[in-house]
Amino acid sequence: MVGVCFVGQQSLNAETIRQGGTLAYCKYSRDYIAQEAAAKWDKIGILLGQFVSPWDWWRVKRLHPPVAVNCRKNCRKGKAYGNTCVRVAYTCQKPQGALVTQDNTVTFG
């Protein structure tokens, strides 16, 4: 958390993190590490299952941005009529490990 909020003497930051509602934002403050560790230990809130912190998710996304490539239909020795060919040879120009959706868009997962 970046801001600090209180109700009386109770820190809303600490309580929200302790209940697994958010994470301690260690880049700006190390005040709530114990509360996050307790929530991880108790496996509550967003820390119940497998969880990727937002900063780790964005780091991976920046290092490996999604690439969209359209699979295309090539007409070999045939006439093209709109989106169809008399004789059709389908080729997909996609890197290994990419995912192809129903609309033939290739993305990296």
**Per-residue pLDDT at 68 exceeds 70:** no
**Alpha-carbon span 11 to 27, nearest angstrom:** 19
Q: Mean of the per-residue pLDDT values for the chain? A: 75
pLDDT grade for 53, boundaries at 50, 70 and 90: confident
**Alpha-carbon span 96 to 109, nearest angstrom:** 12
59-95 per-residue burial string, b: 16 or more CB within 10 A, e: under 16:
eeeeeeeeeebeeeeeeeeeeeeeeebeeeeeeeebe
Q: What is the mean pLDDT of residues 78-107?
A: 55
pLDDT value of position 103? 63
**Per-residue pLDDT at 35 exceeds 60:** yes
